[in-house]
């Protein structure tokens, strides 16, 4: 299990990119932290999620 934004998710074995796309995130408007380290967008497709990983996905919202 992978903890994503405080919730346990069965995402181990999938790439970060696959998870984010399936979850409906807009790749242009997010930042991801994995195990307390920021993940560069260029690496989303290269990182395979593992049991025990902790992710924080932050969406940017514009306004004014």
Domain boundaries, the chain: 2-59
pLDDT of residue 64: 61
Instruction: Show the DSSP H helices in the chain as ranges.
Output: 16-22
> What is residue 9's three-state secondary structure?
strand
Confidence check: pLDDT of 47 > 80: yes
The confidence band for 52, taking pLDDT boundaries of 50, 70 and 90, is very high
Tokens representing 24 are 């409906």
- Mean pLDDT over each residue of the chain, to the nearest integer: 94
**pLDDT for res 48:** 98
Q: Which fold has domain 2-59?
A: Ubiquitin-like (UB roll) (3.10.20)
Total-model pTM:
0.88
**pLDDT at 61 > cutoff 90:** no
Residue of 63 and 45 predicted with greater confidence: 45
Kindly give, in sequence order, each residue whose CB lies less than 8 Å from that of residue 15, ignoring residues fewer than 6 positions away: 44, 45, 46, 47, 48, 49
């Amino acid at each position: 299990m992978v903890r994503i934004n405080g919730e346990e998710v069965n995402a181990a074995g999938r790439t970060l990119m696959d998870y984010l796309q399936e979850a409906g995130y807009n790749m242009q408007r997010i930042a991801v932290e994995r195990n307390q380290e920021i993940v560069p967008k260029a690496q989303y497709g290269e990182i395979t999620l593992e049991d025990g990983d902790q992710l924080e996905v932050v969406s940017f919202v514009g306004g004014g």
